[in-house]
Structure 1
Amino acid sequence: MDHLCVAHRGFSGIAPENTLAAFKLAIDQPFVRWIELDVQLSKDGVPVVIHDFTLERTTNGTGRVKDTDWKELKRLDAGGWKSTEYQGESIPALAQVLDLCRGRVSLNIELKTAGDMYPGLEKAVLREIVARDMENEVVLTSFERSALRRAKELAPGIRTGLIIDARPDDLAKQLEGLQCSFLSMGYPRLDRKLMKDLTGRGITVMAWTVDDRSIMRRLASLHPELMICTNWPDRWEQVFLHSKHRMWHYIRNLFIK
């Protein structure tokens, strides 16, 4: 796997997060193998891609996502807050993102919910995935464990993952109980021992959110299979691909001499 690059909410360092512009820019980077995104439901039950429960930070709208119909949501400007270049960029439906990414990049889809905030979220998301035969191209992740359980009940074969920013002693046991084969963890919590234990149990681990090159290098030393989620995929390229090229030239020169 070699520290797979995961574009956090797309290439969100440059383009407005969780928009088609950010996803297209991420896909354009040949080294980006995964994209992470957030899904909620509109008032009328459409899975939409947005991080915050409220609209104010990343759009020109107000109020809660769950209280707004899809017809209203898609009219909002979700790009102008980032720069005038992206003014008019809209909130995408999950269906649009799946159509864009299918066969091109894998998706880490966070079920963005809390408690019973979004009844039917898992079913709506799975409906869009299954309709496109993309079950093998996604992992459904969440902080909300009940959402992961519901997803597994609806689609036992779907891959799921827990998001956590803590380090419980029985983490491996918790993942087993949730039937999760994926873990999304805040990077300061990770170390070599935990990585060895989890990967030895068949758990894929992703570190979030890492934008500092020196931290990327330190994390790389923990385990070769650690996935790295970043807002700036170009920095991932500078750390990993450039270092590989330097090593290749060094070895090549040894043999030439």
Structure 2
Amino acid sequence: MHSSSERVLPDCWGHRGASAAFPENTLASFEAAIRDGAEGIESADVHVSSDDVVIMFHDPDLSRTTDSTGAIKDRTWYGENGMEHVRTVKEPKQAIPTFAETITLLMQPENQHVKFNVDSDWETKLAPRLVLGLWHPSFIAAAKESLPYLTRSFIGISPSLARTYFWDHCDFFSMSFAVLATSDGEKFRKECQDAGKKLMVWTVNKPEHMMEAVRWGVDCILTDVTRTWLDMRSALYADYEKTGLQYSRIFLWTTLDYWTPIQMLRQTAHVKRLQSIAGPFTTAATVTVSAAA
């Protein structure tokens, strides 16, 4: 039995920053997560405007979170009607950050401990801190060819997809909490641990779910509430047994979303959606990737 001080508990990564407190994927949200003490920021969310500006944004269009509308790829960044003037609906209202602005934030000396999931300074100070998230296997070969220096991570809800297409090409696996709670998820967790793969879990906002992720032995918890996990982690380091006893596991059996049949249906729908967006998963893609390894 390890003492509290000997345990290694999961890192804290802000999901789109500290997005419970600030608008998601904004500099304010990123800065809040860093101030809270998060070790990383998850924001595998970049799009390119029609005038070739890379921006940090989750959705392909603006309508859900901002006071504007339209597909990002069809909108300009600069100009009278450019997206540089768009603001979030959620208070405090924020501008959409560009990728360049985000990198500038990360390169500030006080922030250089932070990892980010999307010159000599680039090679030594930034590249080792970036994790490239991949959803579809068709992007693996391009990632290896164009960004060979970046750590690659599979992001998804399907252990089967992870095993079949990404296992040999990724060091990190970023999986939904719900799928890791299933029997196949338990098997996948063990496979990652046995193979030395890093396991990240998202999006974990409830303390009882955080405690369960700790019991699983994951390497990183992605959360909207960075302060909640960091405070809980401090309590676990102080007294693991006492803190752990506060959180029941009964939700694993009483929550419909964690039942295997439900997750299988979700995974099937998810794979169909991925294929509709980026094309089918083919054996040819696997051969191409292997040749590029």
**TM-score w.r.t. length of structure 2:** 0.70
Correspondence for 1:104 among 101, 113, 117: 113
Shift of 1:17: 0.3
State the match for 1:116 in structure 2.
none
Describe the SS at the equivalent of 2:167.
helix
2:237 aligned with 1:231: no
Deviation at 1:46, TM superposition (A): 1.6
How far apart in 2 are the matches of 1:36 and 1:247?
A: 27
Shift of 1:249: 11
Q: Which residue of 1 aligns with 2:188?
A: 194
Q: Distance in 2 between matches of 1:66 and 1:237?
A: 37
Q: Give the unaligned 5+ runs of structure 2.
A: 1-7, 244-293
1:22 is aligned, of 21, 24, 29, to: 29
CA RMSD of aligned residues (A): 2.4
**Structure 1 runs of 4+ with >6 Å offset:** none
Structure 2 CA distance for partners of 1:58 and 1:214, relative to 1, 3 Å: same
Alignment match of 2:77 (pick from 62, 70, 74): 70
- Who is 2:249 aligned against? none
In structure 1, C-alpha distance between the alignment counterparts of 2:189 and 2:144, rounded to whole Å: 25
Matched, 1:82 2:90: yes
Given that 1:183 and 1:203 are in contact with CA atoms closer than 8 Å, whether structure 2 keeps it comes out as: yes
- Aligned counterparts of 1:147 and 1:99: Cα–Cα separation in 2: 26
Aligned length: 223
| Structure 2 counterpart of 1:46, from 19, 44, 53 | 53
Contact preservation (8 Å) 1:141, 1:148: no
Counterparts of 1:144 and 1:66, CA distance in 2: 20
SS at match of 1:74: helix
Aligned to 1:121: none
Q: How much has 1:42 moved relative to structure 2?
A: 1.1
Q: How does 1:180-219 map to 2 (within 5 A)?
A: 180-190=170-180, 191-219=185-213
CA distance in 1, matches of 2:166, 2:155: 10
Greater mean alpha carbon deviation, residues 194-203 or residues 59-68: 194-203
Q: Give the partner amino acid of 1:82.
A: K
**Structure 2 contact 159–188 (Cα < 8 Å) conserved:** no
Distance 1:249 1:144, change over 3 A: closer
Q: CA deviation at 1:165?
A: 1.0
More strand by share: 1
1:33 corresponds, among 39, 58, 71, to 39
C-alpha displacement of 1:95: 1.0
Matched with 1:124 is none
Identical-pair percentage: 28
Q: Distance in 1 between matches of 2:154 and 2:191?
A: 16
Higher percent of residues as helix: 2
In structure 2, the CA distance between the partners of 1:247 and 1:188, relative to structure 1 (3 Å rule), is closer
Q: Distance in 2 between matches of 1:43 and 1:133?
A: 30
SS at structure 1 position matched to 2:33: helix
| Distance in 2 (alpha carbons) for counterparts of 1:25 and 1:166 | 31
State the one-letter code of the partner of 2:116: L
Distance 1:247 1:137 in 2: 30
Q: Residues 147 and 157 (structure 1 numbering): CA distance in 2 closer, same or farther, change over 3 Å?
A: same
Q: What does the per-residue CA deviation read over 1:165-217, in whole Å, with 9 as the maximum and x for residues that have no partner?
A: 1231x73352234x111111111111443222113223211101011110111
